[in-house]
Amino acid sequence: MNTASLPDGIVTAAQTRIGAGRTRRFVGAEHGADVSYFFVENQPGEGPGLHWHPYSETWVVLEGTVRIRRGDDILIAEAGDTATVPPRVVHGFTNIGEGTLRILCIHASAEIIQTFID
């Protein structure tokens, strides 16, 4: 696709891809938006290390099954489920399904600010 012909306000998947990996990152401030997100495709056993943000995060599970650690709580979410974590609460998630996990991680911030624990 010729991105030069795209209308303002359209950001392609290729523009948000992180390196050669499967994860995509959209930083709202770069596009005049008040939210940011990661679109994650993880294989079984994969997931980010424990971290926190100074704002809330909302996850929408698009495909698969995920174990979310939210503070001291463990949540299990499946395709179609939505989960949230308040600001400054340590969290992380792991694909516990047999196939690919596709999850949209919405950050309530125009910038992505993450502090990793481990």
Q: Are 95 and 76 in contact (CB under 8 A)?
A: no
Q: 54-84: per-residue pLDDT in tens?
A: 999 999 999 999 999 999 999 999 999 999 9
Question: Rounded CA gap, 18 and 70, in Å?
Answer: 25
Strand arrangement of the beta sheet that strand 51-52 belongs to: 73-78, 65-70, 91-95, 51-52, 115-116
Please give the torsion angle defined by the CA atoms of residues 89, 92, 97 and 103, in that order, rounded to the nearest 10 degrees. 80
> Mean pLDDT of all residues in the chain?
93
Q: Percentage of the chain surpassing pLDDT 70? A: 94
Which residue(s) pair with 70 in the sheet? 73, 91
Q: Name the pTM for this structure.
A: 0.89
Q: Beta-carbon neighbour count of residue 67 at 10 Å?
A: 15
**All domains of the chain, ordered by start, with CATH?**
25-116 (2.60.120.10)
